[in-house]
Structure 1
Amino acid sequence: MTSHQPGQAPPLVLTVAGSDSGGGAGIQADLKTMLANGVHGMSVIAAVTAQNSLGVQGYWELPPEAVRAQLDSVLSDIGVDAVKTGMLASKALVELVSEVLADVSAPVVVDPVGVSKHGDSLLAGDAVDAVRTRLLPVATVVTPNLFEVEQLTGVKVVDESGMRAAAEAVKELGPEWVLVKGGHLPGEPADLLFDGTEEYRFTAERHDNRHTHGTGCTLASAIASNLAKGEPVPEAVEKAKQYVTGAIAAGFPLGTGIGPVHHGWHLRHA
C-alpha cells in the first residue's frame, strides 16, 4: 500500500465528470472526497450543470476536443494511479473517454451516471449503448445503482434476492468488478460486489437523513482513492462504504431541497 512521505506527492486520482454548481456532487464532490481520503485529486470536466438542492436546471457538455485536451494534459505530464468517471453526458464524450482510458494501465472506477438524485436525466439516450459497449469493458469497478442496472441491462431488481442476477448481467458487459448498489431497496442498505466468481455483500446502517446528494459520486471517488493507495478491490470498496456511511450520517441541509453528504465528516474534530 502506498504511503505518503513529506515532500512526496500522494497517490494521484483523476476524475472525469460533470461540474455541480451546488458543490454536493460531480467534480466538486469527487475532489473533496479525494482530499478527505489522502490522495491528490485532478479533474477533467466533461459537462457543466446548473444545479442546486432542488434539481438540475440545465447542463452543457464540453466539446470533445476540450475533454481530450484536459485528458492529454494530465496523462502526458502528471500521470494517474486511478481514474474515476462520472457524468459524461453524450455518446461522443463516452466514446472519447473510453478510447483514452483503454490505454491507461491504472484502475478505472466507472460511476455510470444516468440520472440525478432528483430524477433529472444526465445522459443522452444514444449514449447509453456507448456506456454499455465501450466504457464498461475498460472498467476495473463499475458502481451502478438499481435504476442504472435496469438502464444498462433491462434487469429490474425489486428485492435483495435479485441483486446477484443484476450483478451477473452487468458483469457480462465487460467490467472486472461490479458493485450493485442496493440503497433504494427497503430495509437495511446492502450492496453486492461481484467479479464473476467471488461475491461480497456490504451492509450499512440506514440513517434517517434525506441529505444524501452526491452519494454515488462520493462512493466511486472513495473507491478510486483506495485503489490508488494500493488496496485490493474488496478492501477498497469496504473502506469507501465506511467513509460514505459516515458522510451520509453527517449530511446537512442546504437550500430548500436535498442537502449534500459531509465529505469532511471525519476531519471535523481532527
Structure 2
Amino acid sequence: MKILSIQSAVAYGHVGNSAAVFPLQRIGVEVLPVYTVNFSNHTGYGSWGGPMISPDDVAAVISGIEARGAFPDIDVILSGYQGGEGIADVILDAVARVKAANPSAVYACDPVMGNAKSGCFVAPAIPVLLRERVVPAADIITPNQFELGFLTGTEPADLESTLASADLARAMGPRTVLVTSVERPDRPEGTIEMLAVTDAGAWIVQTPHIPMKANGSGDVTAALFTAHYRATGDAATALAKTTSSVYDLLRMTYESGQRELQLVEAQEFYAHPAEQFAVTQVR
C-alpha cells in the first residue's frame, strides 16, 4: 500500500506527518509525505520557528511526485490540519489527479477544526471550506464528535444522535465516517469511545479515558484507521486495531510523564496491536 500524506511537519514532537508517517511505516505502508509547514514544534507551545509552505510550493512537490510516475500506484491520499485556505485547492487537485491515474484510490480527510473543550482553533474560513468543498470530495473522514456536529449543523450527544449526524455527514459524500472522542452522557464514568459508520453498518468501541491532552493522537488515529480499513475492507477490524494501538500509545505517553507522544517507544503496539477492546456492532 502507498499513501500520499499531505500534512504539517515538526522537528520537535509528533503532529501531522511527524505523527502519521512512522506508525504507517511500522505496519508496512509506503508513505509519500508532503509537508504543508515545516515548524520547529506544534503551535500549542505558543511559539515556534520555521515556515508555512506556500500552496504553490506544496503543489510543486506533488507535481514532482507525479512526474516520477507514482500516481497510478497510490492507494490513499491522506490530509489533516489545513492551516490556510489555499492548501485545500492543492489537496483537491491532487486527489483528482491521483484518482484519474488510479480510479480505486481513496481520499481520507481528517477535518481538523477544534474540540469540545477548546472550540474551533482554525481560521474562520476553514470550517466552511471543509464542509462545502473538502469533505464532499472525501471517501473517508475522521472527525471528532465536536467536528462532526459542526460539519452537519447538529449536536451529537448520545449514540442515536451521533449515528444520525454520521449519516448526515455520509450524505455529503464520504461513505465512511470514523467519529473519534465520542463522549456519550450515558457512558460509564472514565471511558471514551470511537464509532465507525459505513454502508455495511456501524461499530463502537470503548476504552478507559486517559486524562491527558495528546497533540498528534488524532493524526495517528486517522492514519492507522485509514490504512487498516484500506487493507482489510472491514471497518470493525480497522477499528479494533486502531483503538488498541492508539490506546497503548497514549497509555505509554501518560506513564512517561512527557508532553509529547512516545511515538517511537510505542512502535510494537502498531505492528502487533493487542486488540484488547471489544468492538460492538450497533447497526
Q: TM-score normalised to the size of structure 1?
A: 0.81
Give the partner amino acid of 1:22: Y
* Counterpart-to-counterpart distance in 2, 1:150 and 1:50: 32
Structure 2 partner of 1:243: 245
Residue 196 (structure 2) aligned to one of 174, 193, 198: 193
User: Are 2:3 and 2:32, in contact at CA under 8 Å, matched by a contact in 1?
Assistant: yes
Q: CA RMSD in A?
A: 3.0
User: Are 1:212 and 1:261, in contact at CA under 8 Å, matched by a contact in 2?
Assistant: no
Aligned-partner SS, 1:103:
helix
The runs of 5 or more residues in structure 2 that have no matched partner are: 100-104, 273-283
* Counterpart-to-counterpart distance in 2, 1:154 and 1:35: 36
- Quick one: higher RCO (CA 8 Å, sep 6+), 1 or 2? 1
Give the partner amino acid of 2:193: A
Structure with greater helix share of residues: 2
After superposition, residues 245-264 of structure 1 pair within 5 angstroms as: 245-252=247-254, 253=256, 258-262=259-263, 264=265
Aligned-partner SS, 2:98:
coil
User: Are 1:13 and 1:81, in contact at CA under 8 Å, matched by a contact in 2?
Assistant: yes
Q: 1:133-191, CA deviations, whole angstroms, 9 ceiling, x for partnerless residues?
A: 22212222100002211332221223333211220221122112111223445643222
Structure 2 partner of 1:68: 59
* 1:32 matches 2:31: no
The alignment of Structure 1 onto Structure 2 pairs a total of residues equal to 256
Structure 1 partner of 2:136: 137
* 1:125 matches 2:124: yes
The runs of 5 or more residues in structure 1 that have no matched partner are: 1-10
Structure 2 partner of 1:220: 222
User: Are 1:226 and 1:236, in contact at CA under 8 Å, matched by a contact in 2?
Assistant: yes
Structure 1 partner of 2:2: 12
* Counterpart-to-counterpart distance in 1, 2:88 and 2:173: 16
Give the partner amino acid of 2:92: S
User: Are 2:5 and 2:32, in contact at CA under 8 Å, matched by a contact in 1?
Assistant: yes
Aligned-partner SS, 1:123:
coil
Residue 103 (structure 1) aligned to one of 89, 97, 100: 97
* Counterpart-to-counterpart distance in 2, 1:24 and 1:176: 29
| Residue 54 to residue 88, structure 1, CA distance change in 2 (3 Å) | closer
Q: 1:87-110, CA deviations, whole angstroms, 9 ceiling, x for partnerless residues?
A: 121222112211220232312211
* Counterpart-to-counterpart distance in 2, 1:49 and 1:114: 19
Q: Sequence identity of aligned pairs in percent?
A: 18
User: Are 2:205 and 2:239, in contact at CA under 8 Å, matched by a contact in 1?
Assistant: no
Aligned-partner SS, 1:205:
strand
